[in-house]
């Protein structure tokens, strides 16, 4: 079940509530592009930390609860959260009129430096260049970051390029990536006009 979120007077917010159930995961989420409370619970502590950072630096409201087959591993949970958040982003944006559309950000974290450039283009694509020196952070497999980002970009309609220029600590690298994604989204989602930022007139 999914739905738009309304404020008093039935004026729609840039927000969306969504629920997704499969044999592997059950996920409920409410995303608001204009801010709000942030509460995240996925059963994977490090992933919760990253999603909270993404929402905070993106100026997003995010309430998300995920239950997955963690007895297998975290892959299904992380990827399906990316699907759900991407779908919520796409629905929240509607026709995408008025948004700045493009965003980019550099974020350093200790020895690591990450960069994100994105386009809310409705043409999904991911370029990810961030080798991870360590394979695991807590119970989170480092390779799952790319899986989350691919699902988020594809289902959110984002052209997304992310790179870590250097870093020795996978925790620092991953956190810098999520924070730079948040910063870039905050810039791209900012409403600056009334029409679509495209020479075609539509996104």
**What would the pLDDT profile of 20-52 be if each residue is shown by its tens digit?**
999 999 999 999 999 999 999 999 999 999 999
Calpha distance 201→203 (Å, rounded): 7
Task: Identify whether 150 is part of a domain.
Answer: yes
Residue 19's DSSP bridge partners are 28
Query: Domain containing 58: what range?
Result: 2-188
pLDDT for 8 beyond 50: no
Task: Identify whether 113 is part of a domain.
Answer: yes
Task: Identify whether 194 is part of a domain.
Answer: no
**What percent of the chain is predicted at pLDDT more than 70?**
94
Task: Identify whether 198 is part of a domain.
Answer: no
Task: Identify whether 31 is part of a domain.
Answer: yes
Residue 126's DSSP bridge partners are 160
For residue 114, count CB atoms less than 10 angstroms from its CB and return exposed for 0-12, middle for 13-18, buried for 19 or more: buried
What's the CATH code of the domain at 21?
A: 3.30.230.40
Task: Identify whether 199 is part of a domain.
Answer: no
Query: How far does Cα 145 stand from its chain's mean position?
Result: 11
Task: Identify whether 197 is part of a domain.
Answer: no
Query: How far does Cα 116 stand from its chain's mean position?
Result: 12
- Of 90, 95, 92, residue with least CA distance to 15: 92
Residues 6+ apart with CB under 8 A from 56: 38, 182
* Count of structural domains, the chain: 1
Residues 6+ apart with CB under 8 A from 18: 1, 2, 3, 28, 29, 30, 31, 84, 87, 88, 91
pLDDT for 144 beyond 50: yes
Mean pLDDT along residues 123-148: 98
State the pLDDT confidence band at 203, using cuts at 50, 70 and 90.
confident
Task: Identify whether 193 is part of a domain.
Answer: no
**What percent of the chain is predicted at pLDDT more than 90?**
88
- 53-98 tens-digit pLDDT: 999 999 999 999 999 999 999 999 999 999 999 999 999 999 999 9
- Of 88, 105, 82, residue with least CA distance to 187: 105
């Amino acid at each position: 079940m999914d739905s738009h979120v309304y404020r008093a007077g039935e004026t729609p917010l840039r927000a969306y509530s969504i629920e997704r159930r499969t044999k592997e995961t059950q996920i409920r989420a409410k995303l608001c592009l204009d801010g709000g409370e942030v509460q995240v619970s996925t059963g994977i502590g490090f992933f919760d930390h990253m999603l909270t950072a993404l929402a905070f630096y993106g100026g997003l409201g995010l309430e998300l609860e995920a239950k997955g087959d963690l007895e297998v591993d975290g892959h299904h949970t992380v990827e399906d959260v990316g699907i759900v958040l991407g779908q919520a982003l796409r629905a929240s944006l509607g026709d995408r009129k008025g948004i700045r559309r493009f965003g980019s950000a550099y974020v350093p974290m200790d020895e690591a430096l990450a960069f994100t450039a994105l386009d809310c283009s409705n043409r999904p694509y991911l370029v990810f260049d961030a080798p991870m020196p360590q394979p695991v952070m807590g119970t989170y497999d480092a390779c799952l970051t790319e899986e989350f980002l691919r699902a988020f970009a594809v289902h959110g309609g984002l052209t997304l390029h992310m790179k870590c220029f250097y870093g020795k600590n996978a925790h620092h690298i991953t956190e810098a990536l999520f924070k730079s994604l948040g910063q870039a989204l905050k810039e791209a989602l900012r409403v600056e006009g009334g029409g679509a930022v495209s020479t075609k007139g539509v996104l």
